[in-house]
Every structure is written in structure tokens, then in C-alpha cells.
Amino acid sequence: MGSKGEKRVAVIPGDGIGKEVMAQALLVIEEIATRYGHCIGTEEALAGGSALDATGVPLPESTLDLCKRSHAVLLGAVGGPQWDDNPPELKPEKGILGLRAGLGLFANLRPAHVYPTLAGASSLKPEIVKGVDLLIVRELTGGIYFGQPRGISKRNGQEVGINTLIYRTSEIERIARVAFEAAGKRRGRVTSVDKANVLESSQLWRRVVSEVGKSFPDISLNHMLVDNCAMQLIADPGQFDVIVTTNMFGDILSDEASMLTGSIGMLPSASLGGRNGLYEPVHGTAPDIAGRDLANPIAMIASTAMMFKYSFGLEREAAAIETAIASVLDEGYRTADLMAAGGRSVGTREMGRLILDRLDAKGH
């Protein structure tokens, strides 16, 4: 598959607006490859609802095989109301969980950066969110989403839903290292979030993270209960640098953090741990606006910047994408989800074109 030196990217547009935002991201990748002299091959595959409709399963073996053979995976978004009544094993989201497990992706990196020109789009006062630049490191393959036993059964004439929250020392150690290493390249602060006042798994989490922290003497570490963290993200988000936490807590807190930026349509993410990485926007499929040229493609495009940085080690190319996004926002262009900050309203395709133009303007 591909020529020597080619960077191979598996592309999973997914469902809903996933297809629309992915189209814009692929144009950016093509432009970066042309301008900087890279050979980047892309191949599309199915996962989620589209895979269910076409193959009857949310993650076909052919898709997982392609992802394993690629250097990186780009994912749009999966899901939609038409699959809500499917049994658990046939829900679109099962495809994503299967990709994470199949590729060994145990660390999810979700940055939340407030662009100065978008401070007014946040649901919080501009003075609260000004300068916010945090990174949530979420453990991705353990915890309550994967623990056994699980399921719904009957006991004493009643249905009982069971999920098991379990963490092993090795799982905590490796995600903690990712967080400390990330903090070393940022502002040197790690906040570990747990529920150690109630949960034994969190008591182990806190103890293991503290032990790993001893190997990073230049990084400051503090522990915070998840309910307090949820409050502090609203009260004083600027205090955070790197937040490291469990699968479920990270899922919830990263969506909360997204609203600091003005829109969930702004947040990219990277899932790392194996030989390749998976890059996707934090937002969902937004079926209510799918096909209407209203979706914000910035999170998907910013996810490609993370791909260039983490999977390909191309910092200059990643920075060029991020600079182009910032330039378009500085000039006042906004998709519908960002109009609370004021500016000139543009659609999905126009926002993508503007970012491409700024890439072209920057040149090498």
C-alpha cells in the first residue's frame, strides 16, 4: 500500500456532518502536501452508522485492517438518531470503541484554546476565559466503558444495569506519563482528577499518579476531585495547564471545556498509544444541520494539524494550519455556531476555502 516514503492516512468520514467537515480537512492536507513537498496517500473506509447500513456491523474488519496499515487515522463523527434503537453491540459508537481498542489508543489529548477574537462567543464572561489554554489527557481504553462484568439482567423481578469501573496500575502509569511529558512541553503543571473520597479505583489512581510524578521533579502536581474540577473549569479555567483523568471523567470534562472556547466545533483531539494515532473533532454528527453547509470544519482541520504534529513529527506544517485558522478568525469570519462573537457569517465550504487561502498566503 503506497510508495516508499508515503504517509498513509485512513479516512473515516463517518455520519452526519462528519462527511462535510472531512471534505474540508482533506483539502487542507492536499494543500500542505503540495506546499511542503510531502507524499500523503489517503484511503476512505466505513465505520459507525454508515458501516452499519452498508455491512451490518459498526466496524468492519476491512476498516480496522486499513487503520492498522496506515500511519494515521482521520475520523469525522459517528452516530445519529436512526440507530438509537439498535442493540448495544450494533450502535455506531461501538465502532469507535473498537477502533480505540484495536489500535491500542490509550491516551486521548483534547486541547481547549480560547482564541482572543472568540472570547465573546464563550458562554462565560470574556474576562474569565481570556488566555485559557489547557489540555485534557483522558485515559481511553480502561475504566467503566470497558470493565467487566457489564450488561442488563434481571434480579428479583427487576432489571439491573451493571457496569464495572476497574483500573490497573499499568494503565494509570502510562497515561500519567503522557500527561507529565505533555506538561513538560507546556507550562509544567498537571492536575490529576479523580473521585478518591468515594471510589477505591480513584484511590489507586491518585496513589499511582503521585508515584509517577516523582520521576518528573520539574512538573508540579496537584489532585482535584472531579466535582470540584467541574466547578473550577467554570469559575477559574485559567488555573489549568494539563488535566489527566479517567475515561468517563475525561469524556465529560472535555465537553465542558469545549464551551469555554465558544463552540464544541472548535475542539480537535488526538488518540495515541499504538504505532499510529487517530484524530477526530470532539463534536458529534449534528444531524439537525447535516447537509446544510452550516457545520464548523475548524475542529476537523485542527485535528489534521495534530496529526502532522504527533504522527508525522511535522511541527512546521502543524503550525501553518493553526496559524491559518487563527488568521481567518482574526479577520472576523464565523460559522453559525460562532456568531455569538459577531462577525461575517460563512458556511462550511467557505470557511474551508478561507483557511486554504491563508495557507496559500503564508507559503513556506
Which is catalytic among the residues 145, 167, 279, 310? 145
Measured between alpha carbons, how far is 55 from 89 in angstroms, rounded to an integer? 14
CATH number of residue 352's parent domain: 3.40.718.10
Which is catalytic among the residues 15, 195, 241, 337? 195
DSSP-derived secondary structure for 10-74: EEEEESTTHHHHHHHHHHHHHHHHHHHT--EEEEE---THHHHHHHSSSS-HHHHHHHHHSSEEE
Q: Do 214 and 320 belong to one domain?
A: no
pLDDT(5) > 80 = no
pLDDT(1) > 50 = no
Report pLDDT digits (tens) over 310-340.
Answer: 899 898 999 999 999 999 999 999 999 988 7
Which is catalytic among the residues 115, 130, 133, 255? 255
Q: Do 208 and 290 belong to one domain?
A: no
- Assess whether 293 carries a catalytic annotation: no
Q: Over the chain, what is the mean pLDDT?
A: 94
Domain boundary among 261, 295, 314: 261
C-alpha cell at 59: 466496524
Mean of the pLDDT values across residues 333-349?
Answer: 92
Report pLDDT digits (tens) over 141-179.
Answer: 899 998 999 999 999 999 999 999 999 999 999 999 999
- Assess whether 227 carries a catalytic annotation: yes
pLDDT(239) > 70 = yes
pLDDT(227) > 50 = yes
- Assess whether 53 carries a catalytic annotation: no
Q: What is the pLDDT of residue 364?
A: 43
- Assess whether 337 carries a catalytic annotation: no
Please check whether residue 164 lies inside any domain of the structure.
Answer: yes
pLDDT(265) > 80 = yes
Which is catalytic among the residues 53, 65, 125, 227? 227
- Assess whether 241 carries a catalytic annotation: no
Q: Do 193 and 287 belong to one domain?
A: no
Entry pTM: 0.86
Which is catalytic among the residues 251, 279, 309, 310? 251
Report pLDDT digits (tens) over 281-312.
Answer: 989 999 999 999 999 999 999 999 999 998 99
Domain boundary among 238, 261, 284: 261
How many CB atoms sit inside 10 A of residue 80's CB? 20
Measured between alpha carbons, how far is 240 from 349 in angstroms, rounded to an integer? 34
Helix (H, G, I), strand (E, B) or coil at 125: coil
Which DSSP helix (H) or strand (E) runs through 101? helix 93-102
